Amino acid sequence: MAIFTVVFTPGANWIQGKGSREQPYWGGHAAHMDKLFSQGKIVLGGPYADYSKIQIIAEADNEAEIRAMFADDPWGHHGVTQAPEIHEWLIFLDKTQLKSKT
């Protein structure tokens, strides 16, 4: 498994000045994300504080699998977000991997 950063930018149907939960198709989008999270595919996710982008950290075998994960997201289908920017991420520092020195 590899780790990927997935960054979505607002699309043509994103309503400026509104938060994520106020956007069109929020219910379907949230259900899709919750499903991926419960399957262990999404590690972290959420919007930037200024709602300029949404970043997700996900686990998959390859970029094609990441694209398939988000292919059914209602936000993408309805232009609320644009196609994501996807990058495999090599993690060198991970606080969760620190061991106690006691």
Predicted TM-score (pTM) of the model is 0.88
pLDDT of residue 96: 79
Q: Is residue 102 part of a domain?
A: no
What whole-number distance in Å separates Cα of residue 60 and Cα of residue 72? 16
Give the N- to C-terminal CA distance of the chain in Å, as an integer: 31
Cα 23 from chain centre: 16
Q: What is the per-residue pLDDT across 59-78, written as a single tens digit (0 to 9) for each?
A: 999 999 999 999 999 999 99
Domain of residue 36: give its range. 2-97
How many helices (H) does the chain have, and how many strands (E)?
Answer: 3, 4
Confidence of residue 100 (pLDDT cuts 50, 70, 90): low
Domain tally for the chain? 1
Q: Is residue 91 part of a domain?
A: yes
Q: Which range has the worst mean pLDDT, 11-15, 16-20, 93-97?
A: 93-97
Strand arrangement of the beta sheet that strand 2-8 belongs to: 42-47, 54-60, 2-8, 85-89
Q: Is residue 45 part of a domain?
A: yes
State the CATH number of the domain containing residue 23. Answer: 3.30.70.1060
